[in-house]
Amino acid sequence: MSELRLGLIGCGPMGRKLADSLAKRNDARVTVVADPVEEARRQAAEAYDAQSCAHWEELLSRSDIEAVVVATPSYLHPPIAIAAAQSRKHIFCEKPMALHVADCDAMIQAAAGAGVKLMVGQVLRLMFPFWRIKQLADDELGAPFCVSIRRLYPWSPEGWRAHFDQSGGPLFEVHVHELDFMRHLCGEVSQVSAYGGRFVSEGVDYYDVYLVNLRFRSGAVGHLHGGITTGESLFEGKVLCPGGALSFGPEWGAGAVQRGRENVGPLDSAARQGPVGIDWELDSFVKWIRGDEPPVVTAQDGRAAVQLAEIAYRSIAESRPIEVPQ
């Protein structure tokens, strides 16, 4: 089977991480990179022995590129993904998929109409200890009935990340990870009730604290406390199941399982044989293109996370719970 030839659109830190993962493979390779910043695209071209161009439109015009990795600022995801689909190229789009559900729908429709594959990089669920928490809930402890997550960190956004219409604020830029993970654990959401405000952050036009409550169709409940107002990073959570409890944090990569009421032990990462994190999602993307294996994360997953963030903002603005359309 021939090597899958990919184009990288966006040569910033996230784009480079994705390309670094692809560089480990012998069945896929980044052969062209695009970025309006000359130094960024020069460094990427040298790192991956690739050709470069300043504009993504030029990359999409090339017939030798089969698929693209879109790692641009969030507000550019929809026009690039739609144009890539129209160019008959498969698409891996970094999260958030878009900043509006309508744009997600347009991306999905464009890919379906062109007969190309569209995958979204909701990678948190594929990292340890998160994949292990899902595994234990499915295989041993039973369906979660309560999930609580707190993710706080110091962040002084600059450039496009300081503007709501370009980044969506932390709820889109970061917390779509937690929204996706809670949905991954508990299924579809029926209602969102959220609170938020901007209290200490300067130079931004969005909230810096979010409290988002979810009620799932299963009857389970979830809570997310997120924001950028603290002086230190904190990422921790608790998942309650009929057969015990699962937890993670506050240190990255730490996790514990409680079976029953007393038996507590650390989560074991050796339970998975195979790639994790970014390597896992890109392995799935390549195999989906080459072998038609179902993707580990779908475009519908990406859309659902965007929908929850969008509804949370609406709930804050209207000071009321909002039902999630089925």
**pLDDT of 1:** 57
To which residue do tokens 């901007």 refer? 198
Confidence grade of residue 157 (pLDDT, cut at 50, 70, 90): confident
Give residue 319's pLDDT band: very low, low, confident or very high (50, 70, 90).
very high
Residue 303 banded pLDDT, cuts 50, 70, 90? very high
**Whole-angstrom Cα distance, residue 53 to residue 35?**
7
User: Which sequence spans correspond to the domains of the chain?
Assistant: 4-122+276-297, 125-267+306-323
User: What average pLDDT is seen over the chain?
Assistant: 96
Asked if 30 and 21 count as a contact pair (C-beta separation under 8 A), the reply is no
Query: 4-122+276-297: which CATH topology?
Result: Rossmann fold (3.40.50)
Same fold, 4-122+276-297 and 125-267+306-323: no
Angle subtended at Cα 309 by Cα 303 and Cα 312, rounded to the nearest 5 degrees: 140
Whether residue 157 is preceded by a cis peptide bond, meaning omega within 30 degrees of 0, is no
Q: Which amino acid is at 85?
A: A
Asked whether the predicted pLDDT for residue 305 surpasses 90, the reply is yes
- Whole-angstrom Cα distance, residue 95 to residue 212? 19
pLDDT in tens, 187-220: 999 999 999 999 988 889 999 999 999 999 999 9
The percentage of the chain sitting over the pLDDT mark of 70, rounded to a whole number, equals 100
pLDDT of residue 230: 82
**What's the rounded Cα separation, in Å, for the pair 68 and 85?**
10
Q: Is the pLDDT of residue 153 over 90?
A: no
190 against 155, higher pLDDT: 190
Is 125-267+306-323 a domain of CATH 3.40.50.1370?
no
Residues 163-184: tens digit of each pLDDT: 999 999 999 999 999 999 999 9
Mean pLDDT of 120-140: 97
Beta bridge partners of 213: 193, 223
- Give me the amino acid identity at 127: M
Predicted pLDDT at 272: 85
For 94-115, what is the mean pLDDT?
98
Q: Exposure pattern of 247-262 as b/e (b: 16+ CB <10 Å)?
A: bbbeeeeebebbbeee
User: Is residue 143 classed as helix, strand or coil in its secondary structure?
Assistant: coil
- At residue 304, the pLDDT reads 98
Distance CA(237)–CA(261), nearest Å, equals: 18
**For the segment 34-57, what is each residue's pLDDT rounded down to a tens digit?**
999 999 999 999 999 999 999 999
Measured CA to CA, the distance from residue 98 to residue 104 in angstroms comes to 6
What's the pLDDT tens digit per position in 237-265?
999 999 999 999 998 999 999 998 778 89
Task: State residue 64's pLDDT score.
Answer: 95
Largest CA distance in the chain: 61
**pLDDT at residue 271 greater than cutoff 80:** no
